[in-house]
Amino acid sequence: MSQVEHAPHRINLVQGEFRVSDDPRVVLTTLLGSCVGACIRDPVRGVGGMNHFLLPGVEAGLDAKDSERQGVHLMELLVNGLMRQGAQRDRLEAKIFGGARMMRGLSDIGKKNTEFAIKFLKYEGIRFLGGDNGGEQGRRLQFWPVSGRARQSYISSGVESANRASAKRATTAVVEKSSAGEIDLF
């Protein structure tokens, strides 16, 4: 086989999307702030998926029940997608990421998103393996749906990033592109 056949196939998700795959080359990626990414898989069938959601909440003019109904819909899309690919509900396991508090002084929608996702998993009998939630930083998330491997890296807040970038520009002259397609400043 050639190198191209072994190269990972990255699929990026944005808010409101989900994806399911049984292809071991697939890596699902997303950026999360107060949103939550649920990574669910059936380890026996070798199929998994991820979604990216944000409960609309009071700010969107919805009461708590309407907001949760939309969250249930997004989680069910993922679970039903897994079932269509041969997953069995009693074997499902999940990891939850995201749910940061991105803006001080406003309601903590990230915490509400995380609490909702964990409550959904418990209600549906899906084993919750953990993850990483809360804090005040966004996350870059990668999930390999077949193996269940998840990797995250923190993203600095806007003000903090701008200050660091300004300091780095003053002291750096080398810019290299890493193999992951990200720009590293040295």
Q: Which residues are catalytic?
A: 35
Tokens of 73: 């819909």
Which positions ≥6 away from 150 have C-beta within 8 Å? 39, 95, 97, 131, 141, 142, 143, 144
Q: How far apart are CA 134 and CA 147, in angstroms?
A: 25
From residue 161, alpha-carbon distances to 11, 44, 77 in Å are 26, 42, 35
Helix (H, G, I), strand (E, B) or coil at 118: helix
